[in-house]
A and B are shown apart, each in its own frame.
Chain A
Amino acid sequence: MESTTTAVCRLRINGELRECAIRPNTTLLEALRYELGLTGSKQGCDKGDCGACTVVVDGEPVLSCISLALAFEGREITTIEGVSEGGRPHPLQDAFDVTGGAQCGFCTPGILMSAWALLRRNPSPSRAEIAHALSGNLCRCTGYTKIFEAVERAAESLRGAR
């Protein structure tokens, strides 16, 4: 039967310290979506297969649906809500919008997080490197073409801004 014990979990998300009372078996995705109101991260399979729940922890993409929330205390978590800067869309988000990289948009937050992590460690990825970095994120709408274009466009604009 369901565990009734709850623990206070302190998570550093998008630069803010957030607290929630959760059961020890609560996943990071459940904590984000259902405890902290951060519904941008999506649940597509709840098994780590689709990547819609991807968030970035200390610079690395992490599947939040198969990660326990309590294990991420003290780590730096970034979700899709933390990507835009000063209320303005990040160049990556803007590029996805302009190129048509988001159709239904459900896989988009996860894909953006994988791409965001990629561009932070590699500002000039080749198309093969982009495809590799996004291979854990399933998209069912686009055939990936416009997603690749969006990441390339964002990389170019970020390099220009630097």
Chain B
Amino acid sequence: MSKERAGTPAIPADRMMPAERRLTPPAWPGGRTAAPDGEFHVIGKRNRKVEGLAKVTGRAIYADDIALPRMIYAKLLRSPHAHARIRSIDASAALTVPGVYAVITGKDLPEYFGIIPWTQDEQALCEDKARYVGDAVLALAADSELIAEEALKLIRVEYEPLPAITSIEDALARPEVKVNEKAKDGNISKHVHLEFGDVEAELKKSDATVEAEYWYEGSTHTPIEPHCAIADFDATGFLTLYSSTQVAHYLHRDLARVLGLPTQRIRVIQPVVGGAFGGKSEPFSLEFCAAKLSMMLGRPVKILYTREEVFYAHRGRHPMRLSYRTGIRRDGTLTGVDARIHIDGGAYSSFGLVTTYYSGQLLTAPYQMGAYRFDSTRVFTNKPCCGPKRGHGSVQPRFAFECQIDKLAEAIGMDPVEVRRKNWIGENTRTVNELRVTSNGFPQCLDAVERASDWKRKFRRMPYGRGVGVAGSMYISGTNYCIYPNEMPQSGVQLKLDRSGRATVFCGASDIGQGSDSVLAYIVAEELGLDLRDIRVVAADTDLTPVDLGSYSSRETFMVGNACLDAARKLRLLVAESLAERWGCRPDEVTLAEGVACSSRAPEKEHMSVKEAFQLAESRHGTLGSVGWYQSPKLGGDYRGGTIGASPAYSFTAHVAEVECDPETGRVDVKKIWIAHDCGRALSPVAVEGQMEGSAYMGFAEAIFEEQIFKPAAPGHGPGLHHGPSLLDYRIPTSLDTPELESIIIESVDPEGPYGAKEAGEGPLHPSIPAIANAIYDALGIRCDRLPFDPPRVHKLLRAADARAQWERARRQVSGATPVPATAAAARRT
């Protein structure tokens, strides 16, 4: 790993909107952004994670590891039809089975819920209609899972099958077959049309334009831990729910809504979560059903989804059909960008309103564009509901757009790295859709992958079958606004410190493996001079921890980190003041580091252990504790939807992928991906690299392997049946499939991030897919505009075109002296 640093001045006042001046982030005591003594002791070091040893020794407790006294089990009955009215349900036979306690149906939980307050269209169990194969219809509680499974076979549900909508085309063509009754217009879930500048006029200035259609296939998260919930309703009327969720706070609110309990009588606890990637970022049937059954029976109820059910719970990557028209001038300047996007949402809304905006809003950096228009439509279909998978809403358009740039670069005979460099939007600026961009290390990312991959010696210079491709991207570090409108902090932290020399951090943050618990501990250790082992993190327990909105939209490091820094610096100031008084120095002359408190003036004389320092502070100030919080500045464009996509900071990424392809079989072997990511300051380089590698892996998997797809009707089953809801049929890459991954951290040091940090969990996924697509073109002379790039599709493209001739033309285009006019069907001169 290598590190590079890009200097970033603070955003000039004249580039800020008035609202931003009013609501800047909390000012730290002393106004510092650097380490107490100018050097970090914990931040930026290769530290262990706080829960690491518990995980590697098998002692970490995940939801399914919890067993409570008198606990029973429940199972869900799921629809075998893609679309069917529920005529009647007869559970009488099942209820006579010994060991069966109760059955609930949609009538027992009629209240609608949904993560976005404006589109609440789901019920815990379908009341009138099932909307996909696998939609939950009934829950049954019994002594064991086995008894419950057997008893479910005795349930009689009378269904009236309805015509099923299984594609975007169907959804648009047949509005009379309504998938989701909450849709106002046919099967339209959401439509967004936004235009920034005069796109047609900009396109007219182009020397070349490229118009193409792309297909992004759906995929799903497949965390290795299936969803699991345990509900425990006690005699005082209090509900405790343990759940493998990444949004304990939102789950808390929706439980109250659906169960008719006040929030103050519900406690949600997130045990250790075994992966999520966005797949556990909203409430699911199991949480409501376990809770309802526990309330009815007065004993703990556990529901563990089978792997098959995880595929139905889904909320994964939306399939998208994307058409782009993009122009470029001879000097490499991008002109107008015109996008038309159709999104297959599945049966419910989920985060779909946001997805539809994100499909357009998050494209406008790292490149400047003259004018931009997007028209995005999300439709309902009779398939499991899509939602936010790592890189929510913006991975698909990024794939299409970065392929467009590759085609445009070829059309004007310019190196695609150079085109990206040329159009860099800069730092401390605004995008065409009015997003505020502050720190921006994208050029350093490009430089790093260009150099590390030996790009100049490889691009258009390797033998037929081998190639390299480049792509870039940006992503948000948290969204500026909570999912439900309110003026309260987005993240809160409480810190307890006492004479024992031990600190406890309480925070609602959700660690799903990315390391948010560790970020909390690193910050407290840095500020208070503690050893990491002397800090306990208590997280994601709504009874014990102040609200944090949870692990989504890459918000934890930025927002939780700022809240924690706020709390820790308040306490640090109390300790420093006590010591300053004792030593007769100024508080800013006091250093707390590595277990020792000392003055910078005379450290050999004026020093004591931090434990003694805490005791001194406790004597002077009373019991020690602090709260810290973060609320992002008001940002966003002044238009409807202009706040969606607004983030206090953006991360930037560049990838180069190298492929080796077999022209005979169409097999694409990705040899290596170089990943350079601007994460602001890397608070934990090990964790940042882990996020970069995991992201690149997941993007690679979507490019080459994965498809969440459904079968048409056939003898034995109707339409909409999952292609293969198992980890054997749904192919995720193994250790033998995954390419070599090289991470290069770029640190732009963000003016508003904690110590300058930004996100690293989602951004680095984006360029994987287009970098691989562009590498395949370099290798074979074919444009892979449809995912995944598996042997049948690649082979078909090879047969359809004179790939070899195109490959040779492409080589002349870059190395040749005179740019040749673009002759590919996709590119034309204007």
Residues of B within 8 A of A44 (CB): 224-226, 274, 307, 727
Known: A106-B225, A145-B693. 16 other contacts (CB 8 A): A1-B150, A42-B62, A42-B224, A42-B225, A44-B226, A45-B726, A81-B57, A89-B53, A103-B275, A103-B694, A105-B54, A105-B272, A105-B274, A107-B274, A142-B690, A142-B694
**Binary per-residue interface labels of chain A (100-138) against chain B in the complex, 1 for a CB within 8 Å, 0 otherwise:** 111111111100100000000000000000111011111
Residues of B within 8 A of A47 (CB): 307, 726-728
Determine whether A67 belongs to the interface, using a CB cutoff of 8 Å to chain B.
no
Chain A interface, >50% SS class: loop
Residues of B within 8 A of A135 (CB): 734-736
Measured in the bound complex, the distance between the Cα atoms of B64 and A49 in whole Å is 19
Option from A34, A39, A40, A138 in Cβ contact (under 8 Å) with B224: A138
Contact (Cβ within 8 A) B223 A140: yes
Residues of B within 8 A of A130 (CB): 735
Residues of A within 8 A of B51 (CB): 105
Determine whether A64 belongs to the interface, using a CB cutoff of 8 Å to chain B.
no
Contact (Cβ within 8 A) A140 B275: yes
Determine whether A56 belongs to the interface, using a CB cutoff of 8 Å to chain B.
no
Contact (Cβ within 8 A) B64 A43: yes
Nearest A-chain residue to B272, judged by Cβ: A105
Nearest A-chain residue to B56, judged by Cβ: A93
Residues of B within 8 A of A11 (CB): none
**Nearest chain A CB to B679's CB is how many angstroms away?**
15
Residues of A within 8 A of B738 (CB): 143-144
Contact (Cβ within 8 A) B307 A97: no
Residues of B within 8 A of A97 (CB): 48-49, 52-53, 55-56
Residues of B within 8 A of A93 (CB): 53, 56-57
Determine whether A50 belongs to the interface, using a CB cutoff of 8 Å to chain B.
yes
Most central of A132, A139, A142, A145 by chain B CB within 10 Å: A145
Option from A34, A42, A138, A144 in Cβ contact (under 8 Å) with B727: A138
Residues of B within 8 A of A69 (CB): none
**Nearest chain A CB to B279's CB is how many angstroms away?**
10
5 A-B contacts, Cβ less than 8 Å apart?
A: A49-B728, A98-B46, A104-B273, A142-B690, A143-B741
Residues of B within 8 A of A84 (CB): 57
Chain B interface residue bracket vs A: 35 or more
Residues of A within 8 A of B52 (CB): 96-97, 102
CB contact list, A51-70 vs B, under 8 A: 52
Option from B513, B690, B740 in Cβ contact (under 8 Å) with A105: B513
**Nearest chain A CB to B94's CB is how many angstroms away?**
12
Chain B interface, >50% SS class: loop
Contact (Cβ within 8 A) A138 B734: yes
**Nearest chain A CB to B221's CB is how many angstroms away?**
8
Contact (Cβ within 8 A) A108 B225: no
Measured in the bound complex, the distance between the Cα atoms of B53 and A155 in whole Å is 18
Nearest A-chain residue to B61, judged by Cβ: A39
**Nearest chain A CB to B274's CB is how many angstroms away?**
3
**Binary per-residue interface labels of chain B (219-248) against chain A in the complex, 1 for a CB within 8 Å, 0 otherwise:** 001111110000000000000000000000
Contact (Cβ within 8 A) B58 A49: no
Determine whether B696 belongs to the interface, using a CB cutoff of 8 Å to chain A.
yes
Determine whether B147 belongs to the interface, using a CB cutoff of 8 Å to chain A.
yes
Contact (Cβ within 8 A) B150 A137: no
CB contact list, B672-718 vs A, under 8 A: 686-687, 689-690, 693-698
Residues of A within 8 A of B55 (CB): 97, 102, 105, 108
Contact (Cβ within 8 A) A134 B735: yes
Contact (Cβ within 8 A) B226 A131: no
**Nearest chain B CB to A18's CB is how many angstroms away?**
16
Determine whether B22 belongs to the interface, using a CB cutoff of 8 Å to chain A.
no
Residues of B within 8 A of A80 (CB): 57-58
**Nearest chain A CB to B191's CB is how many angstroms away?**
34
Nearest B-chain residue to A113, judged by Cβ: B58
Determine whether B362 belongs to the interface, using a CB cutoff of 8 Å to chain A.
no
**Binary per-residue interface labels of chain B (173-205) against chain A in the complex, 1 for a CB within 8 Å, 0 otherwise:** 000000000000000000000000000000000
**Nearest chain A CB to B97's CB is how many angstroms away?**
8
Determine whether B17 belongs to the interface, using a CB cutoff of 8 Å to chain A.
no
**Nearest chain B CB to A136's CB is how many angstroms away?**
8
Measured in the bound complex, the distance between the Cα atoms of B741 and A87 in whole Å is 35
Nearest A-chain residue to B273, judged by Cβ: A104
**Nearest chain B CB to A86's CB is how many angstroms away?**
13
Determine whether B146 belongs to the interface, using a CB cutoff of 8 Å to chain A.
yes
Contact (Cβ within 8 A) B307 A2: no
**Nearest chain A CB to B691's CB is how many angstroms away?**
8
Contact (Cβ within 8 A) B732 A138: yes
